[in-house]
Amino acid sequence: MRKKIVAGNWKMNMNLEEGLNFAKSVDRYFREKPASKAEVILCTPFIHLAGVSEILKNSKVTLGAQNCASEPSGAFTGEVSASMIQSTGAQYVIIGHSERRSYYHEDDRLLNKKTLLAINAGLKAIFCCGEVKAEREEGRHLIIVKRQLEEGLFTLPAESMKMIVIAYEPVWAIGTGLTATPEQAQEMHYYIRGLVREKYGKECAEGMTILYGGSCKPSNAAELFSKPDVDGGLIGGASLKKEDFAAIAEAI
């Protein structure tokens, strides 16, 4: 059975103290629960990584970052490399979130470099893809996601694919309250798994965890996760409220 994941993407929220307190309360919550069916990941801003890593020692909850540099090291003021992230104890990094693609103009070629660096540093990459509203309205959503995966991800050798989680995040559903219907999510996840199968074979495709992200909340999580190709969620706003995040993880 493939791995189920519920990952919280805090985005640019919470100062250091707030973030550490929040991580403590999430850790406490999952400690007291019987083992969840899903791996629970907190993807925090860079400033929280080292502190949250201490809090999550021996925890059921794991840690990730939200971005990494496109170069391994050196004179790149303000950047944080994949190996620096790995040195904090984080195991994951989100690559290619639509907010990075649109606000910071990160294109497929650059994201491909970041993905390779992440894997070389020993991190698992949560590789994001998804279409904007106009692309869906024009019926181009499948072709857009195909391009993002082919150019950003499918240059990887087969043995690296075990370090990849794919997250489908339709841009029109992020932070908007509009959620993809379970059928829309399933259609895309099934399509993505088919692309992985074509490129890397059946075993890789069947083992690939594919997450849904975009206004996922306690009221819609169970229905989304009930679809056969939806293996969990990448959660933005609702990951900032412990009760909501916990309820989404329970929905697995």
- Please report whether residue 42 would count as binding ligand 13P according to CB under 6 A: no
- Residue 215 touches ligand 13P, criterion: CB under 6 A: yes
Q: Which structure tokens are listed for 112?
A: 């491909």
The least CB distance from residue 243 to ligand 13P, in Å, is 15
169 given a catalytic annotation: yes
Task: Count CB neighbours of 215 within 10 A.
Answer: 19
Report how far residue 223's alpha carbon sits from residue 96's, in angstroms, rounded to the nearest whole number: 26
Choices 50-58, 144-152, 183-191, 231-239; region in contact with ligand 13P by CB under 6 A:
231-239
Residue 97 is a catalytic residue: yes
Q: Which residue is nearest to ligand 13P (CB)?
A: 236
* 123 in contact with ligand 13P (CB under 6 A): no
Is 45 a binding residue for ligand 13P by CB under 6 A? The answer is no
Stretch that binds ligand 13P, among 20-28, 146-154, 191-199, 214-222 (CB under 6 A): 214-222
184: contact with ligand 13P by CB under 6 A: no
234 near ligand 13P, judged by CB under 6 A = yes
Q: Which residues contact 17 (CB under 8 A, 6 or more apart)?
A: none
| Sole binder of ligand 13P in the list 220, 236, 245, 251 (CB under 6 A) | 236
- List Cβ<8 Å contacts ≥24 apart for 152-159: 152/95, 152/96, 152/108, 152/111, 152/112, 152/115, 152/127, 153/112, 153/115, 153/127, 154/195, 154/199, 155/112, 155/116, 156/115, 156/116, 156/119, 158/200, 158/201, 158/204
Judged by phi (left if over 0) then psi (alpha if -120 to 50, else beta), residue 193 lies in alpha
214 makes contact with ligand 13P (CB under 6 A): yes
Q: Site for ligand 13P (CB under 6 A): which residue of 174, 195, 196, 248? A: 174
Interface residue with ligand 13P, options 216, 224, 248, 251 (CB under 6 A): 216
Binding residues for ligand 13P, rule CB under 6 A, total 14
Spot the catalytic one: 48, 97, 141, 189: 97
The nearer residue to ligand 13P, 9 or 184, going by C-beta atoms, is 9
- What count of other Cβ atoms lies within 10 Å of the Cβ of residue 149? 21
Q: Which 3-state string (H, E, C) describes 55-101?
A: HCCCCCEEEEECCCCCCCCCCCCCCCCHHHHHHCCCCEEEECCHHHH
Q: Residue 122 interacts with ligand 13P (CB under 6 A)?
A: no
Please report whether residue 237 would count as binding ligand 13P according to CB under 6 A: yes
Q: Mind telling me the catalytic residues? A: 97, 169
Residues at the site binding ligand 13P, with contacts judged by CB under 6 A: 9, 97, 169, 174-175, 213-216, 234-238
